[in-house]
Amino acid sequence: MESGGKTVTQVEQWSVEDLVFRIYNLFANIPPGAQTTLLELQRDEHIKYLNEGLKQLGPSFVALDSSRPWLCYWIIHSMALLGESLDYQLESNAIDFLNRCQDPNGGFGGGPGQMPHLATTYAAVNSIVTLGGQKALSSINRDKLYNFLLRMKDPSGAFRMHDAGEIDVRACYTAISVASILNILDDELIRGVGNFILSCQTYEGGIAGEPGSEAHGGYTFCGLATMILINEVNHLDLAGLIDWVVFRQGVECGFQGRANKLVDGCYSFWQGGVLALLQRIDLVTGERLSLFDSGEEDSTGNSSSEGEDTDGISSMAEETCHFKNGEQQDSSCSVNYTSSSHTQSLGNVEMEPLFHSLALQQYILLCSQLENGGFRDKPGKPRDFYHTCYCLSGLTVCQHSCSKDYDSPSVPGQVLGPYSNLLEPVHPLYNVVLKQYREVREFFSRS
């Protein structure tokens, strides 16, 4: 087949410029009916690919031996995004397997008997939350997990990935995220984290993994989500952050992770998720940000100070709509950007949607999706479960980017391709599907 002067066999070697050309050509030359087919999410093929992956997670599986909870998360979360439930036996095997990765002194390792690590703890906890139900949720030893988190805390307040391991923004995010979702977050875990993240925001506006390094989308997501979870997001230079991240969406329509690098499907979530969070800061934190800035009282009549307000965390995690004149607006309230604190810090500029969501969906569906299932970084690269998870996560963030709150039905115009492409919504702070997030909040609010 000829397309734009290149044969299909050449497509896999196409450069970024060729990709743009390909996208334009596809839409210029193909009749409107056929365009929809090209943009169709290949649900059945993705589910087949993911199910095959789940079956391989058994004891004979040796690849990525120290990242097996990650494989569980990437596959189980992808299935949940597609609205697909797991086979009963596979689900039960996954719970047992993750339980065997749990260290007797708290936290989860990369496999049974491996030392506990914050990244695999985050992956295991998010997998268990996504599996849901009494058996899965009660398998987490929260007391021991809390002790593990305290052990990972450096005297500076930041976290190490593992015993004697590196201190970085990922470690802070994974620690705070699991503590928050399991309802064990307290002042001691929060102490010093905000200052560490602030020291990682660079002159470019994005956030680096550690002080002095280059801003990167993966760390920027981790840093921003952490600052929201600990109720200190107003300390970041939000105008600089927005400025950095909006320029990471390239002419190819996908996102790059850092300046002067190629776009990659996985940044659809890391960078798209940053924008989803920034757009919703008002929604997730109420008007507390502006109240912090001015030192005024909050809507409940309490004057708040940052860092000590754990109630702010739960109110945010329950997706509180913003309060006006002491009255909580109902769930139909609209997000009023002009009244939000971050627009104040931007000089009251009225905010448009922060990224081109339809264009990003186009990159994900046309360039990252494989017809026979799975997603990849870009054409020419093979599919894998990591990219499948984060391309699907980016897709749902796009589809719900204009919703008033996380689980309002997506506006049809926001879904590129057929409406059957619509995925389950996620809670963007944790990247777990909203339904499962609700279940875990309810489950652990009792204890």
Amino acid found at 18: D
Q: Name the β-bridge partners of 159.
A: 153
Pick the binder of ligand FPP from 48, 261, 356, 435 (CB under 6 A).
261
For residues 290 and 250, the answer to whether their CB atoms sit within 8 Å is: no
**H or E, element range at 228:** helix 217-229
**Residue 153 in contact with ligand FPP, rule: CB under 6 A:** no
Q: Is residue 252 close enough to count as binding ligand FPP by CB under 6 A?
A: no
Beta carbons within 10 angstroms of residue 105's beta carbon: 13
Q: Which is nearer to ligand FPP, 208 or 321 (CB)?
A: 208
Interacting residue with ligand FPP among 22, 117, 142, 258 (CB under 6 A): 258
377 binds, among Zn ion, ligand FPP, none (CB under 5 to 8 A by kind): Zn ion
Is 148 an interacting residue with respect to ligand FPP (CB under 6 A)?
no
Q: Establish if 363 lies at the interface with ligand FPP (CB under 6 A).
A: no
Nearest Cα neighbor of 425 from 407, 438, 412, 404 is 407
Give the per-residue contact string, 110-139, with ligand FPP (x = CB under 6 A; - = no): ---------x--x-----------------
For residues 266 and 398, which CB has a smaller minimum distance to Zn ion in the complex? 266
Q: What tokens does 229 get?
A: 């979870």
Which tokens hold the place of 73?
């998360």
Contact 309, 231 (CB under 8 A): yes
> Between 217-229 and 310-317, two packed helices, what is the crossing angle to 10 degrees?
110
Residue 174 interacting with ligand FPP (CB under 6 A): yes
d(CA 39, CA 253): 14
Q: Burial, 322: exposed, middle or buried (Cβ in 10 Å; 0-12, 13-18, 19+)?
A: buried
Binding segment (CB under 6 A) for ligand FPP, from list 14-22, 168-176, 237-245, 432-440:
168-176
DSSP state of 365: I
Please count the residues of this chain forming the interface with ligand FPP, following the rule CB under 6 A. 14
Q: For residue 256, what are the β-bridge partners?
A: 263
Please say which residue, 181 or 416, places its beta carbon nearer to ligand FPP.
181
CB of 262 to ligand FPP, least distance (A): 7
| Contact in structure between 76 and 433 (CB atoms under 8 Å) | no
Among left, alpha and beta (phi > 0; psi -120 to 50; other), residue 97 is alpha
Name the residues annotated as catalytic.
216, 258, 261, 264, 266-267, 377, 384, 387
Tell me which of 74, 270, 385, 406 binds ligand FPP, using CB under 6 A.
Answer: 270
Q: At what angle do helices 118-131 and 68-81 cross, to 10 degrees?
A: 30
439 is a contact residue toward ligand FPP (CB under 6 A):
no
> Is residue 68 part of the contact set for ligand FPP (CB under 6 A)?
no
Decide: is 219 part of the binding site for ligand FPP (CB under 6 A).
Answer: yes
What is the closest distance, in whole angstroms, from the C-beta atom of residue 218 to Zn ion in the complex? 9
Answer yes or no whether residue 218 interacts with ligand FPP by CB under 6 A.
yes
Site of interaction with ligand FPP (CB under 6 A): 119, 122, 170, 173-174, 216, 218-219, 222, 257-258, 261, 264, 270
